[in-house]
Structure 1
Amino acid sequence: MVDTAAMQIPRSRARGSVEEALRRSPVTVLTGPRQSGKTTLAREFADPDSVNYFDLEDPVSLARLDEPMTALRPLEGLVVIDEVQRRPDLFPALRVLADRRGSEARFLILGSASGALLRQSSESLAGRAEHVELGGFDLNEVGPKSQRPLWLRGGFPRSFLAATEEDSAQWRRQFVRTLLERDLPDWGVRVPSTALRRFWTMVAHYHGQTWNAAEPARALGVSEATCRRYLDLLTDALVVRQLQPWHANLKKRQVKSPKVYVRDSGLLHTLLGLDSEMALLEHPKLGASWEGFAIEQILARVPHDDAWFWATHQGAEIDLVLRRGSRLLGVECKRADAPTMTKSIRIAIADLALERVAVVYPGRKRYPIDDRVDVVPLETLAADEPLFPDAAS
């Protein structure tokens, strides 16, 4: 089904990324969580009624691919395969087809899971595939005036564009239920949906904190290894982010466990039972919610090769360490009216040799607070202005 809601906001940057990937590589892997707009974007490139389009939630398409080489070999131009995680056995066939000499065929494959899907494509399509990830709407797509509703509702098209707050909240509740009760079992996950729902809710309460599996394991009556498996399942479904720690060559004791975030702020609010803006503003997770929202916006819009957080057991930390080539850049997210320089930022600059640090906040004025530190409005990302003054973001 075409997501007509997603069509109301153009996604030119995502479209451009897919176009470039299709130009460079015989296979493009477009991943993203369910209902993020992948199918809508793919249908800008190919007619869903053509023989070149396969939707693996459609029994007819599944039947056509019973003999994949027979079905795919004669096709020319762009071939789209949607929900490919349902048929991981297609990857070896795609490798053979991608290696054909003189073939003009290009393959755009869509998937709603990252872990097993990306491992399959990396192993079978090494050197032949380029990966593009599509999340929900970001601040650049919806505009700076929509920063608050984007934070409250999240970026899933049908949630963000819902007619009322209740419609948005109801869509998110159904998304959680469908993912746990239908999608994950369809992908081969054999974990009771009630257990995963309880676990995901616990992750929401850990949002923005260093992960410790011991407490959730005790609460659920399972092993820590089982909890790690649950966390990896939700990460693979692209609804949870495990932000890994950066390790510097220091004598200080550094945090070695990942931080966890519910990637979509609207889903976070649903899992926390926050059904109104007032409920969010009064909740202890208010600051962590905004921090996670800002981090997702930054990771979506600011060019980087790798991203981590950094923290020591002595209390120094910084929310993001971005590597861009040989440069290390820092980002601190503060929901404050006028952030100031902190001891923690000074320590991070000295210990990690950060070239620059941006302190991102919800205000509107940009100003320096140190030689290498600027306070930067989050809405800067909506205008494609650089987060760091000497490098385009």
Structure 2
Amino acid sequence: MEIFRPDFLKEIEISIRNNPVTAIMGPRQCGKTTLARVVAQSTESTIFDLEDPADFDLLSNTPKIILQQQKGLIILDEIQRIPELFPLLRVLADEADSTRKFLILGSASPELIQKSSESLAGRIGFINLTGFKLNEVGTENLEKLWERGGFPRSYLAPDDEQSFLWRENFIQTFLERDISNYGFNIPAVTLRRFWLMLAHYHGQVWNGAEFARSMGVSEPTAKKYLDILTGTFMIRQLQPWHENLKKRQVKSPKIYIRDSGVLHALLSLEGNKIFTHIKVGASWEGFVIEQLLQQLKSRDYYFWRTHSGLELDLMVVKNAKKLGFEIKFSESPKVTRSMHSVIENLNLDKLYLVYRGERRLMLAENIYALPAAAIPGHKF
């Protein structure tokens, strides 16, 4: 079984038309290569896989000579393995009368690969690919997607046991091979311990001093570990929103493991065991946040919390409107007094209570109940 991903394919094709370089960025095993090969079928193309020793050696030694010989679409898979290619791509992209287009695939963010950020400014379009989302698998598969996560091989596994085993192997390979391939010299056992700690803190505000103390490292080192996992698309740091209010506000990010299936594997929760676990609410919150961000496609998203206890799980600025989201692992939505306070303090246009039920309801002025399964088709 395969799942077609037309929205991402359309994004990629538009970007290739409009930019000399298009980058598909996302975690390993999320389907970047599969999509690139689908695009390659419709045009003249050449693929270089930098995890293939032959291709790696070829582009490590004489990259300019090799790439200048190519025509049409040139696909460079796992480009972060040779960061020196980024300045060269700028030169090739600026060549007069060139008909070449580049499609680069990477499992580490441009911020993590320092040379990429500056080299291709103004010449590159970014596509942020994720694992499967609710609009792709169908809303009837919501709980399966939440339990297994969106990595294709995990979601499409024939049963829960094989899905869980795939995720365990993914985590091990990521720690023992991928991190060193990205150029970081961190013992796998150290990063595994840190990642496990993050799983237990999923949905909580980052406390660098506490992590440093538990790990026996400095705060800057703990933050470095966090940034590496963020830059490889394993962790989302949800930044706080700052209003010019009299209330004291939390100023550290909230930490989420981006794929719910990976979170469940780290917590040793196979199949539906998450339903009885203490982190069930936090897991659901992180899962829904990922679905909302995919649907809204805004870069302006935050959480908000004051030291006096007022908080909002997610605020997204979209089309000059402030949309608030409160996420509950509940089948019956309820309006609380604090929701009205949040609307007033943040001047929200709408507040959505996203829950596990089935009805879309207006609960109060500017407060709406939204079933999680309705996220893909909702017009925000």
- Provide the TM-score with structure 1 as the length reference: 0.93
Matched, 1:286 2:308: no
Matched, 1:120 2:151: no
Matched, 1:249 2:241: no
Bigger shift: 325-334 or 242-251? 325-334
2:261 alignment partner in structure 1:
266
Three-state SS of the structure 1 residue aligned to 2:302 is strand
Matched, 1:28 2:22: yes
| Structure 1 unaligned blocks of 5 or more | 389-393
CA contact (8 A) 2:236 2:256 kept: yes
2:353 alignment partner in structure 1:
359
How do residues 34-45 of structure 1 correspond to structure 2 at under 5 angstroms? 34-45=28-39
| Structure 2 unaligned blocks of 5 or more | none
Letter in 2 for 1:105: R
Bigger shift: 139-148 or 323-332? 323-332
CA contact (8 A) 1:263 1:296 kept: yes
Offset of residue 96 of structure 1: 0.7
Letter in 2 for 1:103: S
Deviations 1:5-50 (A, max 9, x none): 6xx00011111111111111110111110100000000011259x8
1:220 alignment partner in structure 2:
215
2:297 alignment partner in structure 1:
303
How do residues 8-87 of structure 1 correspond to structure 2 at under 5 angstroms? 8-46=2-40, 52-65=46-59, 66-87=61-82
4+ residue segments displaced more than 2 Å: 115-122
Letter in 1 for 2:28: R
Paired with 2:344 and 2:378, the residues of 1 have a C-alpha distance of 27
CA contact (8 A) 1:85 1:117 kept: no
| Residue among 142, 164, 171 paired with 1:147 | 142
Three-state SS of the structure 1 residue aligned to 2:40 is coil
Three-state SS of the structure 1 residue aligned to 2:27 is coil
Deviations 1:193-227 (A, max 9, x none): 00100100000011011111222222221112111
| Residue among 156, 166, 181 paired with 2:176 | 181
| Residue among 167, 172, 186 paired with 2:162 | 167
Residues matched between the structures, number: 378
Does the C-alpha gap of structure 1 residues 78 and 373 become closer, same or farther in structure 2, counting only changes over 3 Å? Answer: same
Letter in 2 for 1:90: L
| Residue among 337, 343, 347 paired with 1:343 | 337
2:378 alignment partner in structure 1:
385
Paired with 2:56 and 2:216, the residues of 1 have a C-alpha distance of 39
Instruction: Calculate the aligned-residue CA RMSD, in Å.
Output: 1.5
How do residues 87-98 of structure 1 correspond to structure 2 at under 5 angstroms? 87-98=82-93
Paired with 1:187 and 1:119, the residues of 2 have a C-alpha distance of 12
Three-state SS of the structure 1 residue aligned to 2:323 is strand
Offset of residue 105 of structure 1: 1.2
Paired with 1:230 and 1:354, the residues of 2 have a C-alpha distance of 35
Deviations 1:60-88 (A, max 9, x none): 21232121111111322111000000001
Paired with 2:319 and 2:361, the residues of 1 have a C-alpha distance of 26
Paired with 1:229 and 1:325, the residues of 2 have a C-alpha distance of 34
Does the C-alpha gap of structure 1 residues 325 and 51 become closer, same or farther in structure 2, counting only changes over 3 Å? Answer: closer
Three-state SS of the structure 2 residue aligned to 1:109 is strand
CA contact (8 A) 1:169 1:275 kept: yes
Three-state SS of the structure 2 residue aligned to 1:167 is helix
CA contact (8 A) 1:321 1:331 kept: yes
